[in-house]
Chains A and B, each alone.
Chain A
């Protein structure tokens, strides 16, 4: 158990809908990262938050957004869903955002299926 929790474990929804994925980082970790895992694209970085502020963006679609709250949990919002958004979404956390202890620990993921 990495200490990173994600809910829900599975999510099935229809095209055009909006969903919210939730992540709680390990105790004491200030950085949260979101990654998408699909068969064709592999593991891709989406976005990083550090202590409530956006630190970096990767290949994240404009239909997707995220935030990190004062208690450091994070939510990833996916809207206007398309079939191609079906994937595993992972959250990872680390103690610092840059330098220092760079180890990232992953949660169990949320499997999103868009029908």
Chain B
């Protein structure tokens, strides 16, 4: 089955800097890749997603890139703010059948004022 690796597990940046989180997946049949932000005591919140027929997607300060050949995708956050501090999860969904999400282990992002 699908396996998703996520790095780094923790990331600390200064306010205004950029943050990059990287994920790799194992199943070449995976074709949908969402990113979730989870704040303490809350459920995961979908922040951006990308389909396999697209190489990059941007939404204000957040962007995601996908390299299907290398089977990796990344989350880029620019001009970070303290409210960006949270745990971020990448996930992959394999084509056909269930739409179950296979998650990475998460990255704890801390943005220092």
A interface residues (Cβ-Cβ under 8 A, vs B): 2, 4, 31, 33, 35, 42-45, 48, 55-56, 58, 90, 92, 94, 96-98, 102-109
**B113 in contact (CB, < 8 A):** no
Contact A58 B99 (CB under 8 A): no
Q: Please measure, in the bound complex, the distance between the C-alpha atom of A35 and the C-alpha atom of B71, giving whole angstroms.
A: 25
Contacts of A96 in B (CB 8 A): 99
Contacts of A104 in B (CB 8 A): 34, 46, 99, 101
> 21 A-B residue contacts at CB 8 Å?
A2-B43, A33-B100, A42-B104, A42-B105, A43-B44, A43-B89, A45-B100, A45-B101, A45-B102, A48-B100, A56-B98, A90-B43, A92-B101, A97-B99, A98-B97, A102-B49, A103-B34, A104-B101, A105-B46, A106-B36, A106-B46
Contact B105 A103 (CB under 8 A): no
Main SS class of interface, B: loop
State which size class the interface on B falls in.
Answer: 20 to 34
State the 5 A-B residue pairs at the shortest beta-carbon distance, nearest first: A56-B98, A106-B43, A43-B103, A45-B100, A106-B44
Distance in angstroms from A31 CB to nearest chain B CB is: 7
Main SS class of interface, A: strand
**B93 in contact (CB, < 8 A):** yes
Number of A-B residue pairs with CB-CB distance less than 8 Å in the complex they form: 64
Contact B43 A107 (CB under 8 A): yes
Interface residues of B in 24-79 (CB under 8 A from A): 32, 34, 36, 42-46, 49
Contact B99 A98 (CB under 8 A): yes
Contact A48 B98 (CB under 8 A): yes
Q: Which residue of A lies closest to B32 (CB)?
A: A102
Known A-B contacts A45-B101, A45-B102; the reply to A103 vs B42 at CB < 8 A is no
Q: Contacts A43-B103, A48-B100, A107-B43 given; 9 further ones with Cβ under 8 A? A: A42-B104, A43-B101, A55-B97, A58-B100, A96-B99, A97-B99, A103-B34, A104-B46, A105-B46
